Amino acid sequence: MKSNASHGLWDRFFMLLVEKKIPDKARPWYVRRVEELQEHFKGRKPSTLTVEELSIYFEGRSRESMEDWQFKQLVETTELFLKEVVHAPAATEFDWQYWIAASTTIPTDHATIARDHSNVGELYQARKGDLYHQVHAVFGASLDRMVELIRLRHYSIRTEQTYMSWVCRFLGGYLEHDLESIGAAQVEQFLTYLATQRNVSVSTQNLALTSLAFYFREVLQRSIADLEFARAKRPRRLPVVLSRDEVKRLLSEMEGVYHLMAGLMYGTGMRLMECVRLRVKDVDFDYHQITVRDGKGKKDRVVPLPNRFSDDLKQQLGQAKKYHREDLREGYGNVFLPDALERKYPNALREWGWQYVFPSARLSTDPRSGITRRHHLHENSLQRAIKKGATAAKLTKQVNSHALRHSFATHLLEAGQDIRTVQELLGHADVSTTMIYTHVLNRPGVMGVKSPADF
């Protein structure tokens, strides 16, 4: 029979579920998650659990076959119970955000691993309700050929997905037509429609044009040059740049692994995907630098490793190595390698240097191949953490992950760094792209412009 103290504990938990507006049908699951916690730590008061014990508990549970929503529910329920019911001291120190984010595993059509699919069309066929099914039924041979040509040129998976999307949208309007009857006139009509009816941005219209031009030129071997169509208006927008104080406030509202990742993005100028895909071998503490591999345009570059985050990064690598050792011990430990490197270096996928610096807390099983791997953290979790931090810091600017990169460049220029160096650190192909930050500074060259109101 449960003690009065135990009854009081459950009463508080039930009242909390009502207060948090947890649906009636979900409440039994929340209760079950707490019972699982108590069963695991049988004989222990939940309030005495330590941060280390909670980490080990979730690491063990992460290896179970659970859907993403089930694992997220597990973490959220445990946090709710320990923080607001039993007031466990460890609950205020534990990195809940990291483990909640771990519930989002990388799907098989994610840009990091999508090329692992063996069949050309499999990536798109998996998308239920996609226009691809209808278009492929009519123009399948040409679509498959387009993907083959894109991969032959080693374009990124994002480019492949973009080209496929726009070509499918275009061909979707001509399912009853013969491919030979579709040409420049139809492309002109489509691009005009995007600008005048859909009010798309100039960059979106250009993406559509580039995609269709590739399809007609490379796949159909037909030219669609000298097109005449209504062009979308090009807006002149400046990047969102945070002041040094705003960056400090943002980072102060973030904690755990996301504080480190956001700090590195600001301190190095890395893009979002460059950060989440960072490999252990590319971090060099001796030379205080990070090598960014396969950046935009398939280019590598070297960026400085901020001393401020060195200790945190070493600690993160220690946690990642712990995961890797446990994975190897249980028969896993292989990581995804791009560009057929797995065939070229068959042992590399288990080597420590190739592991991700920011691995997911959960293993993922590819339903197609059955291969179980530990991928990197999902980029959406970092984006959400940055937005949440910006809200908590009461920043009025539209803050996203790229704002940290913009701030990196602007603050370097403010400190007197030459623009060519900043261009190289950002990985820009043309200095004119980097010049946008001089407009943010409101300075031609290095000379500032003073407002006449201050004369």
Residues with catalytic roles: 271, 296, 402, 405, 428, 437
Over residues 3-12, the mean pLDDT reads 70
Over residues 433-440, the mean pLDDT reads 77
pLDDT higher than 50, residue 1: no
Neighbour count for residue 440 (Cβ, 10 Å) = 17
pLDDT higher than 50, residue 445: no
pLDDT higher than 90, residue 390: yes
Predicted pLDDT of residue 231: 76
- The share of the chain scoring above pLDDT 90, in percent, equals 47
Q: What span, in angstroms and rounded, lies between the C-alpha atoms of 437 and 406?
A: 8
Predicted pLDDT of residue 431: 86
Over residues 300-306, the mean pLDDT reads 93
Question: Chain-wide mean pLDDT for the chain?
Answer: 86
Over residues 192-209, the mean pLDDT reads 89
pLDDT, tens digit (0-9, with 9 covering 90-100), for 114-168: 666 545 555 665 554 578 888 888 998 999 899 889 988 878 788 888 999 999 9
pLDDT, tens digit (0-9, with 9 covering 90-100), for 288-302: 999 998 877 778 999
407 CB-near residues (< 8 Å, 6+ apart): 241, 242, 247, 266
Short-list 269, 173, 264, 170, CA closest to 220: 170
pLDDT higher than 50, residue 380: yes
Over residues 13-32, the mean pLDDT reads 90
Return the structure tokens found at 249: 């406030």
pLDDT band at 425 (very low <50, low <70, confident <90, very high): very high
Over residues 271-288, the mean pLDDT reads 94
User: CA angle, corner 389, sides to 302 and 109, nearest 5?
Assistant: 60
pLDDT band at 254 (very low <50, low <70, confident <90, very high): very high
pTM of whole model > 0.85?
no
Predicted pLDDT of residue 105: 78
Over residues 329-341, the mean pLDDT reads 82
136 CB-near residues (< 8 Å, 6+ apart): 121, 124, 125, 143
More confident residue, 253 or 199: 253
Short-list 433, 427, 407, CA closest to 302: 427
8 A C-beta contact, residue 296 and residue 427: yes
